[in-house]
Amino acid sequence: MQHDLFSSLDSFLSVPAGSGGLLIRDVAGQYRPAEADEVLLAAQQLLAAQVRGSDLMDSPAVVKDFLRARLGSLPHEVFAVVHLDVQNRVLDYVEMFRGTVSQTSVYPREVVRDALLRNSCALVLVHNHPSGAARPSRADEVLTQTLKQAAALVDVRVLDHFIVAGDAVNSMAELGLV
């Protein structure tokens, strides 16, 4: 699907979101009904615009809606990072690693490197469980602590780790696991 090609908020915002209806204008200028993936892409663009620059702590529902729309229906695991500035405003959302139906490899060095390149002060980690179980696994807990320790070495805080499974979004911070 077309929405799998985007991995940053900039990529969502670079494509015009349409005129607000459920019609799409083709290259010849004719309007036609939007297809399901085009509607999903437009919804993701709208949510991305709401997320960028928002204070994560003031708008957790918007962030969860964005994550649900972005990752909830994917058939494979994706590990992403929400980069935050010093006031916890969203700088960017970056999908860093893609895996299989049941796992993905995450490299702490790359997460820290990306945080430094974006001048992030804090991170929110995100990944999905295509299995439909939003409960964190023991491996999720270990990964979170490993990334938290690695980021702390360069003075970057890990605030939360969200797990998305279909319509469910769990916060490991809310569960006392961060």
Residue corresponding to tokens 């005129």 = 19
String of DSSP letters for 73-115: T-SS-EEEEEEE-TTSBEEEEEEEEE--SS-----HHHHHHHH
Amino acid type, 120: S
Supply the pTM of this predicted model: 0.71
pLDDT in tens, 38-73: 777 776 666 656 556 555 556 677 778 888 888 988
Give dist(CA 76, CA 70) in Å, integer. 12
Instruction: Tell how far CA 42 is from the center of its chain.
Output: 16
Q: Provide the pLDDT for residue 63.
A: 78
Residue 26 lies in a domain: yes
pLDDT-derived band of residue 16, with 50, 70 and 90 as boundaries? low
Sequence-ordered alpha helix ranges (H) in the chain = 9-13, 36-51, 60-71, 108-117, 138-152
What is the CATH number for 93?
Answer: 3.40.140.10
Q: Are 39 and 23 in contact (CB under 8 A)?
A: no
Residue 15 lies in a domain: no
Residue 132 lies in a domain: yes
Residue 169 lies in a domain: yes
Nearest to 171 by CA among 142, 131, 144, 132: 144
Residue 76 lies in a domain: yes
Residue 30 lies in a domain: yes
pLDDT-derived band of residue 177, with 50, 70 and 90 as boundaries? very high
- The tokens of 11 are what? 């990529």
Domain that holds residue 147: 21-175
pLDDT beyond 90 at 25: no
Number of domains in the chain: 1
Length of the chain, in residues: 178
pLDDT beyond 80 at 2: no
Residue corresponding to tokens 């615009």 = 49
Give dist(CA 172, CA 2) in Å, integer. 30
Residue 43 lies in a domain: yes
pLDDT-derived band of residue 98, with 50, 70 and 90 as boundaries? very high
Residue 44 lies in a domain: yes
Radius of gyration of the chain (CA): 17
